[in-house]
Chain A
Amino acid sequence: MKLQTEDLAFSFEGRRIIDRLSFAVAEGEFVSILGPSGCGKSTLLNMLAGILPPESGRILVDGQEISSFSSHFAYMPQQDLLFPWKTILDNVCLYGRLHGTERALRLRAKESLPVFGLAGYGNSYPKELSGGMRQRAAFLRTALCEADVMLLDEPFGALDVITRGEMQDWLLGMRARLGRTTLLVTHDIEEAIYLSDRILILSGSPAHFQKEVRIEDRERNREWLFAQRARYKEIYYFLKGESDAH
């Protein structure tokens, strides 16, 4: 297993948000964690990214326990968080700046700009970019980290529905290209179905995994997604039942 957690727990202001959370993600697998807002999805990702220390439990990558910040994870937060005072190229190369590999990373970044729909924008400032472009720049920043697991925290949550759809199409294409183990946190059922190999449904208080949905189909597109009504329905009614129960 590439990534494993064992009995992770976290409390905030005396309330236990996450309790005894264990799951595993295989190498190259794309797993979505789906759940209602405020169920602790982002907290889980923050613990993996080393931003929040878990109260108890273990995080293992390739069987090795890790604590605090680890170079195994590349984290992409909800907002793009591009630094407005840095150009796009400087922003996406932050990892290299921090680890002394800026020069090599800049070359890779320049090659990647067109792939990320940012050709000609390397020397622009974030305010000159549209919302979707900023999000792709943030994604490039994450992809350029020398990490084996990508953690995406509702990366398209702030975008309008059409842009979000375009970004999902684009990410689906990038998925095969990058081939990296990815953990996506989302509250969008469609997004989870569209992108994932496996969906883990997180809910309850304290949160724990309630259900797992596997999606084996390799060939996917929008039409395929529209045909997944049965899956959508199943997940929707499950989440609704959970929310009614609490």
Chain B
Amino acid sequence: MALPVLICDDSLLARKQVRKSLPESFDADILTAGNGVEALTILRGQEIGLVFLDLTMPELDGIGVLEAIKQDGLDCFVIVISADIQPEMQKRVTELGALAFIHKPVNPEKLVVILKQYGLI
């Protein structure tokens, strides 16, 4: 069965980059959100297995989304894909429960390694 996946980024290009980086073998049902508020609306309304989450976004940023996921006890994997690559930020998102931290622009090989590591493909 296809895994419901949410790609959350304010940039259309970035959302397309993530989508295109996913391997063909990955059976996913893809939804998109343009900011954190939209992402939470989707996450609270339906089951999502995996979220690709940008950090620097208008309305509600990625940190805000991670905090809400934690607070609401939403059951989903989160992979952060961020231009903010400071080690401190990486530590923060890991503490907030993100599975992995990938630097932008997304590297498809790296993404495949992570998906395999967590048994998602």
* A interacts with B: no
